[in-house]
Amino acid sequence: MRKNVLLVLGASSDIGMSVAKKFAQEGFDIQLAGRNSYNLENHCTDLGIRYKVNANFYELDALDFNSHEKFVRSLPILPNVVVSCIGLLGDQSESELKIKKNVTVIRTNFEGVVSLFSIFANYFIDRGNGTLIGISSVAGDRGRASNYIYGSAKAGLNAFLSGLRNRLFSYGVNVLTVKPGYVTTKMTSGLKLPKALTTNPEKVAYCIYKAYKNKKDVLYVLPIWKFIMIFIILIPESIFKKMQL
């Protein structure tokens, strides 16, 4: 029997590498796609040695929309599972000053993923199966002053994934939205993260694999975040706007 294949978009991401390892451990062959090919080559070698699976890497820039269709067609095997770890946090204070950077944050987190997933969705419909996993964020649940640029992109992504799930369900294609909460990765290095609300990439990967197996729709990696966000969403806007969040 041919092995299942996982494709990671934005593969030099710490979460992405952990997801690749987890799926490789479960016997998947791995495709890594991202911008940083030096790292990806070593990652592939590592996966091959560690888990005795085939691992290959591909150049991909989420912002180079014109290349996406070609990228997908160039893959030697259409993957069974695609996980997007593409993300850019940006710096909110800087974003406020530099409109251009806002746009990059929005385009990376939202448009890049939309473009790629839309292509895969069509291929998966044709094949009649597949799973798309989008790593989004609790930041998308409600816009807050401290990171609403990133947050609004993730909110867009949440809506997109939910719509896509709705559309693809009848074709046997699953869509999983992942909201990790704080994770210790290079994206958050240098930030002081509250321990109780923070998890690590390995845990995220473990939960993603489990959610994939169980065909879950939305995954809060740390359940506490679900409660926090429910609470935050419930606050009336007239009060919320006065809060420093």
Partner 1 sequence: MFLKKNNFSSTEEITGWGLYPRFNVLKKNPKNIDELTEAAKTPSLIARGNGRSYGDSSINKVNTIDMKNFNRFLHFDESEGLLVAEAGVLLKDVIDTFLPRGWFPSVTPGTKYVTIGGMVAANVHGKNHKNSGSFGNYVHWIEIINIDGEIVRCSRNENSDLFFWTLGGMGLTGIILNVAFFLKSVKTAWIKETTLVAKNISEAFRFFEDNLNSPYSVAWIDCYTKGKSLGRSLVMLGEHAKINEIDFKNKSNPLKSPKKRRISIPFYFPPFILTKFNVRIFNFFYFLNGRIGRRTKLVEWDTFFYPLDKISNWNKIYGKKGFAQFQCVIPLTNSKKAITELLNCISNSKSFSFLAVLKRFGTETSYFSFPMEGYSLALDFPINSNNLLLMKVLDEITVKYGGRFYLAKDSRIKKNIFEKSDNRISEFRKYRQNKIQKKFSSIQSDRLNL
Ligand X SMILES: NC(=O)c1ccc[n+]([C@@H]2O[C@H](COP(=O)([O-])OP(=O)(O)OC[C@H]3O[C@@H](n4cnc5c(N)ncnc54)[C@H](OP(=O)(O)O)[C@@H]3O)[C@@H](O)[C@H]2O)c1
Q: Residues 26-65: x/- map of binding to partner 1 (CB under 8 A)?
A: ----------x-xx--xx-xx--xx---------------
Which of 115, 131, 137, 174 lies at the binding interface for ligand X (CB under 6 A)?
137
Tokens of 230: 């429910």
Q: Is the CB of 28 or the CB of 182 nearer to ligand X?
A: 182
Which of 188, 228, 232, 240 lies at the binding interface for ligand X (CB under 6 A)?
188
Which of 76, 99, 170, 189 lies at the binding interface for partner 1 (CB under 8 A)?
189
SS3 at position 34: strand
Dihedral sign computed on CA atoms, order 164, 165, 166, 171: positive
Which of 12, 95, 102, 158 lies at the binding interface for partner 1 (CB under 8 A)?
12
| Rounded Cα gap, residues 105 and 84, in angstroms | 15
Q: Minimum distance from CB of 40 to partner 1 (Å)?
A: 10
Contact region with ligand X (CB under 6 A), list: 55-63, 93-101, 140-148, 212-220: 55-63
Instruction: Report the residue number whose CB is nearest to ligand X.
Output: 87
| Rounded Cα gap, residues 18 and 112, in angstroms | 22
Q: Write the secondary structure of 108-134 as one string of H (helix), E (strand) and C (coil).
A: HHHHHHHHHHHHHHHHHHHHCCEEEEE
Q: Could you tell me where the DSSP H helices lie in 35-112?
A: 37-51, 68-74, 92-97, 99-106
Q: Residues 24, 30: contact at Cβ < 8 Å?
A: yes
Q: Which of 165, 158, 61 is nearest to 121 (CA)?
A: 165
Q: Is 182 in the site for ligand X (CB under 6 A)?
A: yes
Q: Is 233 in the site for partner 1 (CB under 8 A)?
A: no
Contact region with partner 1 (CB under 8 A), list: 99-107, 116-124, 157-165, 183-191: 183-191
Contact region with ligand X (CB under 6 A), list: 94-102, 161-169, 184-192, 207-215: 184-192
Q: Is the CB of 37 or the CB of 162 nearer to partner 1?
A: 37
Strand partners, 20: none
Q: Is the CB of 18 or the CB of 80 nearer to ligand X?
A: 18
The number of residues that bind partner 1 (CB under 8 A) is 23
Q: Minimum distance from CB of 100 to partner 1 (Å)?
A: 18
Q: Which of 81, 83, 16, 23 is nearest to 53 (CA)?
A: 23
